[in-house]
């Protein structure tokens, strides 16, 4: 009989493991969350960290089902995984480890050391730079290479990203213009859609769509995308959050801002408008505005990493 191989982390001092997990929890604290509520808490034990939904920090309002919270937890989970990978640890992830517990979201366990790739280290550095940018998008529109890179980054675990075509954005804009009893959560995306369509210069009706034209117009520099997939279980919303985190960090590397819109999650009218505008989405998880901004000096914010560099690196996680 051969002796069982000791788990690789047995040879690592507990203090080193705790410090690695602690740093991962701190990195996860920088993850985006709806209304910045950070609806999670971590429990660190030995070589593992458990992610829990924190009932005291859950989103109220229109998100009764907790979808926004699951997306936020998914983003925190990805941030923690990425941090551990960048610190040189290989990790096993169990999502929903105890199906009977609504609050136990995931368990990360360190399996042993593994060298971090340059791409992983770079992506982890973007955690500190990533932020929500509410400014109007005024830079040049994203090109096909940017869009391909971002689509790839936002696509994982059966979560796909759909880039809205101009006619789809216009359909949404018109639906928004005709909406009644607009709730607070909707105002922001209405404003953004209207800005894109030329603020009050929409021509035509839902049946006869026509975009206003204005040469050199920067209103339309924004790109609207939707994260979507086939399922509506907690696990799919969690995966959507992980995809959001990966895509947002890659966008940060490219100097592209991401502005999520909760309205289609929280508000039935907004969700139906989105489903009508883009019928093949199955389950839309999150709509986002992507774009580049002009600096005060008038130059587009510099691209921190070019698309070719990101393409050359294997997808870190
Ligand atoms: C699921 C989700 C939904 C969000 N919805 C909105 C939104 O509708 N409007 C908005 O301005 N920001 C939205 N955000 C961004 C958060 O407000 C932002 O992440 C949070 O305030 C923390 O700020 P930071 O991203 O700069 O770290 C959303 C973020 C997440 C994860």
Question: DSSP of 256-305, one letter per residue?
Answer: -EEEEE-HHHH-HHHHHHHHHHSGGGSEEEEEEEEE--B-TTSSBPPPSS
Axis crossing angle, helix 67-86 with helix 234-254, rounded to the nearest 10:
50
What does DSSP assign to residue 252?
Answer: H
Same domain, 196 and 70: no
**Please, where are the H alpha helices in the chain?**
14-28, 67-86, 118-129, 144-154, 166-178, 184-197, 234-254, 263-266, 268-277, 307-312
Burial environment of residue 138 by CB neighbours within 10 A (0 to 12, 13 to 18, 19 or more): middle
Name residues whose C-beta falls within 8 Å of residue 32's C-beta, 6 or more positions apart in sequence: 72, 75, 130, 132, 244, 245, 248, 260
Handedness of CA 158, 164, 170, 171 (dihedral sign): negative
195 — pLDDT class (breaks 50, 70, 90): confident
Q: Is residue 289 part of a domain?
A: yes
Same domain, 299 and 165: yes
Q: Is residue 242 part of a domain?
A: yes
- Which among 295, 33, 302, 305 is positioned nearest to 138, based on CA atoms? 295
Same domain, 257 and 161: yes
Same domain, 296 and 216: yes
pLDDT tens-digit readout, 219-238:
578 999 999 999 999 999 99
Same domain, 112 and 149: no
Which of ligand 1's atoms lies nearest the C-alpha of 72? 31
Which of ligand 1's atoms lies nearest the C-alpha of 35? 17
Q: From edge to edge, which strands make up the β-sheet containing 40-45?
A: 40-45, 48-53, 104-113, 89-95
Same domain, 87 and 154: no
The residue contributing the CA closest to ligand 1 atom 2 is 34
Pocket test for ligand 1, best of 27, 31, 34 (most atoms within 8 A of CB): 34
Higher pLDDT, 78 or 176: 78
Same domain, 179 and 33: no
Which of ligand 1's atoms lies nearest the C-alpha of 244? 31
Q: Is residue 132 part of a domain?
A: no
The residue contributing the CA closest to ligand 1 atom 31 is 33
Parent domain of 73: 11-116
Mean pLDDT to the nearest integer, 36-43: 96
Structural domain count, the chain? 2
The residue contributing the CA closest to ligand 1 atom 7 is 261
With a cut of 50, say whether residue 302 has pLDDT above it: no
Same domain, 245 and 301: yes
Pocket of ligand 1 (CB under 6 A): 32-36, 68, 71-72, 75, 131-132, 134, 188, 259-262, 286
With a cut of 90, say whether residue 188 has pLDDT above it: no
Q: Is residue 3 part of a domain?
A: no
Domain CATH code at residue 175: 3.40.109.10
286 — pLDDT class (breaks 50, 70, 90): very high
pLDDT tens-digit readout, 247-279:
999 999 999 999 999 988 888 888 888 988 998
Same domain, 265 and 303: yes
Pocket test for ligand 1, best of 58, 136, 260, 290 (most atoms within 8 A of CB): 260
Same domain, 150 and 186: yes
Q: Is residue 4 part of a domain?
A: no
The per-residue pLDDT for 122 is: 97
Residue 310 contacts residue 250 (beta carbons within 8 Å): yes
Q: Is residue 234 part of a domain?
A: yes
């Amino acid at each position: 009989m051969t002796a069982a191989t000791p788990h690789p982390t047995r040879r690592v001092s507990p203090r080193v493991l705790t410090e690695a997990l602690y740093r991962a929890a701190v990195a996860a604290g920088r993850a985006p969350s709806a209304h910045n509520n950070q609806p999670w808490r971590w429990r660190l034990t030995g070589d593992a960290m458990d992610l829990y939904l924190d009932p005291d920090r859950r989103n109220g309002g229109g998100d009764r089902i907790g979808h926004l919270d699951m997306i936020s937890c998914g983003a925190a989970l990805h941030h923690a995984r990425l941090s551990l990978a960048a610190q040189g640890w290989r990790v096993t992830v169990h999502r929903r480890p105890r199906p009977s517990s609504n609050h136990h979201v995931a368990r990360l366990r360190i399996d042993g050391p593994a060298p971090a790739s340059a791409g992983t280290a770079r992506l982890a550095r973007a955690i500190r730079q990533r932020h929500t940018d509410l400014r109007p998008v005024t830079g040049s529109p994203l090109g096909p290479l940017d869009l391909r890179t971002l689509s790839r980054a936002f696509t994982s675990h059966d979560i796909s990203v759909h880039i809205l075509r101009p006619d789809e954005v216009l359909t949404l804009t018109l639906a928004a213009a005709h909406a009644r009893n607009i709730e607070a959560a909707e105002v922001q995306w209405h404003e953004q859609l209207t800005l894109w369509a030329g603020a009050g210069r929409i021509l035509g009706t839902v049946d006869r769509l026509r975009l206003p034209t204005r040469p050199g117009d920067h209103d339309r520099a924004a790109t609207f995308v939707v994260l979507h997939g086939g399922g509506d279980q907690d696990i799919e919303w969690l995966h959507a959050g992980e995809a959001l985190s990966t895509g947002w960090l890659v966008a940060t590397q490219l100097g592209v801002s991401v502005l999520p819109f909760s309205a289609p999650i929280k508000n039935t009218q907004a969700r139906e408008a989105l489903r009508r505008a883009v019928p093949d989405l199955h389950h839309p998880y999150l709509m986002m505005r992507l774009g580049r901004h002009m600096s005060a000096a008038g130059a587009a914010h510099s691209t921190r990493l070019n698309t070719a560099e990101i393409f050359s690196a294997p997808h870190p996680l």
